[in-house]
Amino acid sequence: MSMKTFDNIWDAISDTPEEAENMKVRAQLMNSINNWIARHKLSQADAAKALGVSQPRISELVNGKISFFSVDKLITMMAHAGMHIVNIEISETAAA
């Protein structure tokens, strides 16, 4: 029996390439927010106030519950704290 290989973890755990890309973006946004919380040495309660959400939502965020967050919600949280997306890189795959 051969084992299927994937280019990245997102391809392995998602059903479609579109879902994999969405998960990748959400993971990057969540990582940025987590880094912001750590840099500011915020408790979950203080982070929740700054990001405009409840403390349990911050717990879900820091515990990597990616399915609990949409791209829109993560961007809204970032905006509450004055964070901005500076750069988005897009590459195209070769046509099949």
Domain of 66 in residue numbering reads as 11-80
Q: In this structure, are residues 50 and 80 in contact, taking their beta carbons and an 8 Å threshold? A: yes
pLDDT of residue 20: 82
1 part of a folded domain: no
Mean pLDDT split into 10-residue runs, the chain, 96 residues: 59 68 92 97 98 98 96 96 85 67
What's 64's domain CATH number?
A: 1.10.260.40
pTM of the model: 0.80
Q: What are phi and psi of 58, to 5 degrees?
A: -65, -40
pLDDT for 7 equals 64
CA–CA distance, 35 with 33 (Å, rounded to integer): 5
Q: What pLDDT score does 96 carry?
A: 52
Cβ proximity of 51 and 69 under 8 Å? no
Give residue 17's pLDDT.
73
Q: How many domains does the chain have?
A: 1
